[in-house]
Amino acid sequence: MKKSYGKKKVLDGVSFSLEKGKSLGIVGQNSAGKTTLLKILATILKPDEGRLFLFEKDALKDLSYIRKRIAFVPEFPALLEELTVRENLLFFSRLRGVKMESFIVSEFMLEPFMGTLVRNASKGVKQRTALAAALFGNPELLILDEPTSGLDVESASIVRSKLKRLKEEGITVIISSHIREDIEELCDEILVINGESGGSNLERDR
């Protein structure tokens, strides 16, 4: 796949495949195009060249089918700051047409914060809220941009523990992270992207 913004090449010849149930870590220098690649995988952006197949379908032609099966959590989640954690979880569960599942709330240890306004919550609580909301409805593919970046120790541990369980359950997970611990603990394979210098390298069976 290739993607440019104006005259600036962001992705130039990125190519990879990933088996169902595997976890992939995407690494590269700053401005290498990691976030752009994630947004393409999440069908938020379209590549300038190349094709994207998810669940054996052309993702750019079957957006409705694909988007029901994936969840994307950006580095800075778009939560509703003037609502409480509970209200955000209810809002996003209804948006996806599913129930707010209490066991997911418990796994992210959000019960003490359900009445907290999101604008007053720590980054760790915000990230846990966004991840919990993303998992409502059991997505088959979870795409995460820097899921533990800037989190307190407790929140980072909670997030990693949940992602490990998802991996054990066979959920396909794609993570972009500059944190070595995330990649080493959570990923079966690593994709190194080289930005505008071109191409990518895939390391399998770690």
pLDDT at 196: 56
Q: Label the pairing between strands 172-176 and 189-193.
A: unpaired
Phi, psi at 197, each rounded to 5°: -75, -15
Cβ(177)–Cβ(146) under 8 Å?
yes
Q: What is the pTM of this model?
A: 0.91
pLDDT over 70, % of the chain: 94
pLDDT at 29: 83
pLDDT at 199: 56
Residue 186: CA count within 13 A, CB half-sphere: 32
| Euclidean distance between CA atoms 190 and 202, whole angstroms | 6
The average confidence (pLDDT) of the chain is 91
The domain ranges of the chain are 2-203
**2-203: what CATH class?**
alpha beta
Calculate the alpha carbon distances from 200 to 16, 84, 125 in Å: 8, 41, 34
| Euclidean distance between CA atoms 18 and 40, whole angstroms | 15
Cβ(28)–Cβ(177) under 8 Å?
no
Residues of the chain with pLDDT under 70: 195-206
Q: In the chain, what's the furthest Cα-to-Cα distance?
A: 49
